[in-house]
Amino acid sequence: MKRRDLIKKLEAAGYRLDRIGDHAIYEKAGSRPVQVPNHREINENTAKAILKVAGIE
């Protein structure tokens, strides 16, 4: 999955960029922060795990 597509899904669910380091950290009030790797392409299993933690899909 492309990183930008994953970020669009997170932002549509109310997550906002908090900070960038080795990973981009997205936060939403009342939810766990999620880490998005700084790669153009993200492994499908990794993307699914990120979306699962975020409560999407």
How far are the Cα atoms of 14, 24, 28, 45 from residue 11, in angstroms, in the given order?
Answer: 5, 13, 9, 20
Strands 16-20 and 23-27 turn out to be antiparallel
The pTM (predicted TM-score) of the whole model is 0.93
Q: What is the pLDDT of residue 56?
A: 92
SS3 18: strand
Q: What is the pLDDT of residue 2?
A: 97
Q: What is the pLDDT of residue 15?
A: 98
Instruction: Give the tens place of pLDDT for each residue, 5-57.
Output: 999 999 999 999 999 999 999 999 999 999 999 999 999 999 999 999 999 97
Q: What is the pLDDT of residue 57?
A: 77
Q: What is the pLDDT of residue 40?
A: 96
Q: Which helix (H) or strand (E) element contains residue 11?
A: helix 3-12
